[in-house]
Amino acid sequence: MRFIEPHGHMVSRTTDDYLAMAMAGCQAVCEPAFWAGFDRSSVDGFYDYFRQLTDYEPKRAAKFGLTHYCWLCLNPKEAEDVKLAEEVIGIIPKFLDRPSVLGIGEIGLNKNSRNELAVFEKHVDLAARHGQLILIHTPHLEDKLKGTRLIIDALKADGRVAPGRVIIDHVEEHTIQLVLEAGFWAGMTLYPESKCTAARAADMVEMYGSDRLWMNSACDWGVSVPLAVPRAALEMRLRGHSAKAVDALIYGNPARFLSQSKNFAEKL
């Protein structure tokens, strides 16, 4: 089995996790910028985080034979402070020509506030101006439906980024159709307690097709499982999905979407 982990916050995982992922068939891991569990106090904190993502973490992953890519942004949980967000967006272009950067993400909404939406739109503008792919985080639990609608409306209103260059992540049964029907890619996040189980992910593949769909573990410092993607692949095999179909979903689809970034395509 081979797979790409398209969404893993590896800076908060151990080397044991890298080893387990490599042994399970992981070919590459892609790390979106995210919240550290606390609010950073200045733009300098982000500068160092982006250095960690673009410089140090690829070397750590390489020790286990894994290619490491990243996405850059200020995450929605810190987006209430618009001035800080503007400063962070201002330094991102310095990192965009680093060889492992895939695009802008994970941007999006958390509580669906006006400032979060304004900061989301500034990130979309940044991606549009620099021709970058976009990875989007949709809000948690009761906020997901509203946030997904606001995100899709904002992307349509901007209009500069083709839907095929945007993946909207953490979809569930009540949001997947909105995302796919608008032409975007959709990500399913496999979490033990929230978001989506392996069985529900397989349900959604069967109900909505797998053309513009990927699965990820979104493993971070919270309750999450770095081997969730191969576990879901096993679930699909038990349900009679062919090895070829599973490979297309867990390797082919992330490769197809991410190859739109020249940095990914070159190393594939």
Partner 1 sequence: MKREQVVDLYFMEARAKLIDLAAFLDRVDRVPGTDDFRMAAFRHALQELPGGKPDRAKRVLLSLSDPTTEPLPAATTKAAAGAWPGAALPPIAN
Nearest CA-CA partner of 185 in 249, 241, 130:
249
Choose the one of partner 1, Zn ion, none that binds residue 186, judging by a C-beta under 5 to 8 angstroms depending on kind. none
Q: Which stretch binds Zn ion (CB under 5 A): 31-39, 84-92, 141-149, 207-215?
A: 31-39
Kindly give, in sequence order, each residue whose CB lies less than 8 Å from that of residue 138, ignoring residues fewer than 6 positions away. Answer: 108, 109, 144, 147, 148, 151, 168, 169, 170, 171, 175
CA distance 226 to 123: 28
**170 is a contact residue toward partner 1 (CB under 8 A):** no
Least separation in angstroms between residue 140's CB and partner 1 is 4
Nearest CA-CA partner of 33 in 99, 107, 93, 91:
107
Choose the one of partner 1, Zn ion, none that binds residue 218, judging by a C-beta under 5 to 8 angstroms depending on kind. Zn ion
Least separation in angstroms between residue 188's CB and partner 1 is 13
Is residue 53 within a helix (H) or strand (E), and if so which, with residue range?
A: none
**139 is a contact residue toward partner 1 (CB under 8 A):** yes
Which listed residue (83, 142, 157, 244) binds partner 1 by CB under 8 A?
Answer: 142
CA distance 232 to 117: 33
Q: What are phi and psi for residue 135, nearest 5 degrees?
A: -115, 125
Least separation in angstroms between residue 200's CB and partner 1 is 7
Which listed residue (19, 45, 80, 256) binds partner 1 by CB under 8 A?
Answer: 80
Interface with partner 1 (CB under 8 A)? 77, 80, 110-117, 139-146, 149-150, 172-174, 199-200, 203, 238-240
Interface with Zn ion (CB under 5 A)? 34, 218
